Structure 1
Amino acid sequence: MDQLIQNSDIRALFYVSLTLLVLIGVYVGVASLLRRYGKNPRYLLPAGTVRKVAWPLILILFSLLIRLPALRTLVGLEDYAATFRKSSNLIFIFGFTWALIKLLNVVKYILIAKYDKDEADNLKARKVYTQFTILERIVIFLLVLLGMGAALMSFESIREIGVSIFASAGVAGIIIGFSAQKLIATVIAGVQIALSQPIRIDDVVIIEGEWGRVEEITLTYVIIRIWDKRCLVLPTTYFIEKPFENWTRSTTDLLGTVFLYTDYNVPFQALRDELQRIVTESEQWNGEVANIQVTDSRANYVEVRATVSADNSGKAWELRVLVREKLIAFLQKNYPESISHTRLMLKNMGEDLKAGE
């Protein structure tokens, strides 16, 4: 009898050792393959792929190891077969879900690696970043939800409770729908933003009278970084329901305008020549538009609009500030009488004074 037990233990140890070696070989092989593809410039796998999927892969292999009957025999826990199988299922589900999330991160990195958000004309890059950032969160949410569902359904008692819950799902669904309609609308608005893209990451927008950039887009809210470093947090439904300005919706190129209010005797051609000199010496101007136009005239002033162009909103803002300052200084120095002022006409003043005496 002792000999049979000893042979059984040796056989179990052999099977466990063999399985362990096979699993280690699989892990080393997969890791080596990923590292080699990461170093080969012909492939797009990032260098950190092994580090990202290492622990999920270890969990998956460990779940397969503890499922072996030989392991239970070796540790003397043959009576706990159900516990081992249940633990193996849960660890496998957790590891597989984790691995899918990490692989999703790798795929996102591969797809957006060739787009650079720091370029001057980064419209395509911002579009891709926005789509994949929001869709990645949606997919991760669904993966976690499915993983939790698979884990819970592996328990018989929960599965029986689930059947009774599904029987009353109609009433429960109506109640949940009414109570969570705002949350559902917000999530749907987030998905709509990802698909239709009224805004993108790093877009320049004017919202609630504030100038800022889109810093982050989630399923439920959007963060706008205001020019003075404040953060404006808005629900995603805001961008579906309310109007706002997007300065970089179709292109990063912008036209900047500067308004001057001058007297009627202002020399327009001199202003045009001065504007051309200012923008030619400026690094912010893209060489496309520089023009002076008279856009309005009132009783006591003339509205003059200077229009200039730049490659992006930041340069456009700096160019507008520069043009405004230089044109005002030009009028102050060369044509001070052209600055807007109020005229007062005194008629027959001398006669009125004599009559008063």
Structure 2
Amino acid sequence: MKKHATWGLLAIALLFSSLCVGQASEDDKEMRWFSIESLNAGLDTPPEEVNRLTPRDSVRSFLELTKQQDFSAAAHLLNLSELGAAEQREKGPELARQLAAVLRRGEWIDTSDLPARQDAVIEDPAGQNPQAGQPRRNLEIASLRAEGQAYDIRLARYRVGDEDPVWLITPDSLSPVPLLYEKYGPSWLEKHVPQRFKSTFGRLQVWEWVAIPVFLLVTGLVGWLVIRLVGVIARWLPSGSPSIYASQIKVPVALVVMTIVAQFLLNYVVSFSAVATTSFRILLITITAWGVGLIALRFVDVILLNVKRRLVGEIDDNKSRDERHFLTSLYAVRRGIILVAIVAVTIYILSQIELFETLGLTLLASASILTVLLGIAGQAVLGNILSSFQVSLAKPIRIGDLVIFEGRWCYVEGIFYTFIRLRTWDERRLVVPVQYFTSRPFENLSVKSAKMYRVIELALHLNADVECLREKFKEFAEAEKNVIEHHKLCCYVTAQSAAAQTVSFYLMTSEPFAGWEAEMNVREKLLGFIRDNHPEWWPREVVVTSQHDITGGERSANGPNPGAVYPGAGDSS
């Protein structure tokens, strides 16, 4: 009895497992293809050149057949199940022709990116895709937009009975083809191009190789005319901010107008193949975004220029520390605006050309390599940018400060992202990379105050009257408008030798360059006073004609040596 029960349980288990295996087999088949009863019954038998076993073969065969104008054969690569048998024979070739035109102009399809396996299994040797190894029966090959809506062109795998499964363009993808054809169909110009010029040469048709240079030439001519027109308008405008702004936006406005004209031509006059259209589309979006960004940036520059002129004035260290600090902050704000504009324009461009879904994934996958390459290639630029932010935050220098950099007296005229512009004393401009400037020692003469001590040194004879010189020095210095703090004027003998003494005159000036001028003026007046009133104070060499010491009243037994020269031994010269 127990033996019979055991055999019964085994029989039930085998039956259950066979049902499960059968169900799994049916589910596996459903995952590999769509089972249909018939396929394109209204068309003839597919010719031999129609290859539909893999997604790559199906798309490549469709493109080759439509390129040869064999639309009847290309119709076998469409799933026309939503049409009756009579409509399939009539509308199938026309749908193939329209779809070929849409794909040629709407989106460039690289057939090498499509799966070459019949089951379109996801291959991922790195093992990063969680769906690796799973077969697919439905693929997207293109996504196009018309009237604000997105339409996908998809391939699906179908099987009729025991026949081999084939890959065809789905009926849902064929429904919007007439609508897409209205947008991506032949342009007005292409309709008038002779058929012999529509043969393919490379990735473009023959007529496109001629039309594209003409298209670029016309667009460039429009830009040149816009630059001239804006230049004329800038000269007509009254001097000041309007004319400055108009002269600075000539090129950005020309770029924006060029993109508008180019887009108009592409929409209504001429249309090119998808590879050219995609390139032009990315280029136009980029130029438009940067053009608008530059126009906005120039507007900010003009506002900052007005604020600087109204609140600060000319750039030098005569201004107070607060004004120079404010001007430096304005330049920091400008750099911040530039950074925000760059980020915003870049995000806009990427969002418009939809690189986040395609190229963006590739960039993220190789982010480590790109980071290393950018770090090496842009090390100098990034270093200068970071150094400029360091200067803006720490403010070791400010706009208008007077610095001595590598022996040059310079005013800080501008602090930009990658360089610092210095104005030398002779009105030349010295452009120094920010990183280079911050890595070299410099002397900031305007950190606390612009005033500066100046020293005049004169070498005079020992019998010069220092007290007389001190009085004259104070008289001359107090007459100079750039000499301040008159109570600090002083005069001392700072050195001497056997023949002369060094008299130093100290004066405080309002700022270094004005102090240099005041120093020169006082020096000239002192020299003029000595020349006109006391020429005997000039230092000189004394020739001794006798060795007799007048103070001692004795004469040398050897007699005089008229050829000897003794500095300071007498006053006969």
Report if TM-score (shorter chain) is over 0.5: yes
> CA separation of 1:352/1:251 partners in 2, compared to 1, >3 Å: closer, same or farther?
same
Q: Which residue in the other structure is 2:409 paired with? A: 211
What are the Cα deviations for residues 67-117 of structure 1, in whole angstroms up to 9, with x where unaligned?
Answer: xxxxx9xx9xxxxxxx9xx99998996687467536644764676443334
Structure 1 letter corresponding to 2:465: P
Q: Which residue in the other structure is 2:372 paired with? A: 174
| TM-score, L = length of structure 1 | 0.65
Distance (Å, rounded) in 2 between the aligned partners of 1:180 and 1:91: 23
Summarize the alignment of residues 239-278 of structure 1 with structure 2, pairs less than 5 Å apart.
Answer: 239-278=437-476
**Do structure 1's residue 114 and structure 2's residue 314 form an aligned pair?**
no
Distance (Å, rounded) in 2 between the aligned partners of 1:237 and 1:141: 19
Structure 2 letter corresponding to 1:155: I
Distance (Å, rounded) in 2 between the aligned partners of 1:159 and 1:250: 55
Q: Which residue in the other structure is 1:307 paired with? A: 506
Q: CA RMSD in A?
A: 4.3
**Residue 323 of structure 1: how far off its partner (Å):** 0.9
User: Which has more radius of gyration?
Assistant: 2
Structure number with greater CO (CA < 8 Å, separation at least 6) is 1
Summarize the alignment of residues 1-357 of structure 1 with structure 2, pairs less than 5 Å apart.
Answer: 97=293, 101=297, 104-105=300-301, 108=304, 112=308, 113-117=310-314, 121-123=318-320, 124-157=322-355, 159-289=357-487, 291-294=489-492, 296-300=494-498, 301-343=500-542, 347=547, 351=556, 354=559
> CA separation of 1:315/1:106 partners in 2, compared to 1, >3 Å: closer, same or farther?
closer
Question: 3-state SS of the aligned residue for 2:484?
Answer: strand
Distance (Å, rounded) in 2 between the aligned partners of 1:233 and 1:119: 17
Distance (Å, rounded) in 1 between the aligned partners of 2:441 and 2:286: 48
Distance (Å, rounded) in 1 between the aligned partners of 2:404 and 2:285: 52
**Residue 218 of structure 1: how far off its partner (Å):** 1.9
Distance (Å, rounded) in 2 between the aligned partners of 1:120 and 1:231: 17
The question of whether the paired residues in 2 share the 8 Å contact of 1:206 and 1:246 is answered with: yes
The question of whether the paired residues in 1 share the 8 Å contact of 2:423 and 2:430 is answered with: yes
> CA separation of 1:353/1:215 partners in 2, compared to 1, >3 Å: closer, same or farther?
farther
**Residue 354 of structure 1: how far off its partner (Å):** 4.4
Question: 3-state SS of the aligned residue for 1:114?
Answer: helix
Q: What is the identity percentage for the equivalent residue pairs of Structure 1 and Structure 2?
A: 21
**Residue 198 of structure 1: how far off its partner (Å):** 2.2
**Residue 235 of structure 1: how far off its partner (Å):** 1.9
The question of whether the paired residues in 1 share the 8 Å contact of 2:493 and 2:503 is answered with: yes
Structure 2 letter corresponding to 1:227: W
Distance (Å, rounded) in 2 between the aligned partners of 1:279 and 1:355: 48
**Residue 273 of structure 1: how far off its partner (Å):** 0.9
> CA separation of 1:275/1:355 partners in 2, compared to 1, >3 Å: closer, same or farther?
closer
**Residue 258 of structure 1: how far off its partner (Å):** 1.5
Distance (Å, rounded) in 2 between the aligned partners of 1:306 and 1:235: 39
5+ long unaligned stretches in structure 1 = 1-45, 64-71, 76-82
**Residue 178 of structure 1: how far off its partner (Å):** 2.9
**Residue 285 of structure 1: how far off its partner (Å):** 2.5
| TM-score, L = length of structure 2 | 0.43
Question: 3-state SS of the aligned residue for 1:255?
Answer: strand
Structure 2 letter corresponding to 1:115: V
Distance (Å, rounded) in 1 between the aligned partners of 2:415 and 2:347: 27
5+ long unaligned stretches in structure 2 = 1-240, 261-266, 269-277, 550-554, 562-573
The question of whether the paired residues in 2 share the 8 Å contact of 1:152 and 1:159 is answered with: no
**Residue 157 of structure 1: how far off its partner (Å):** 4.5
Q: What is the number of equivalent residue pairs in this alignment?
A: 295
Distance (Å, rounded) in 2 between the aligned partners of 1:341 and 1:296: 19
What are the Cα deviations for residues 187-237 of structure 1, in whole angstroms up to 9, with x where unaligned?
Answer: 222222222222223322222222232333322222322223333332222
Distance (Å, rounded) in 2 between the aligned partners of 1:102 and 1:216: 16
Question: 3-state SS of the aligned residue for 1:163?
Answer: helix
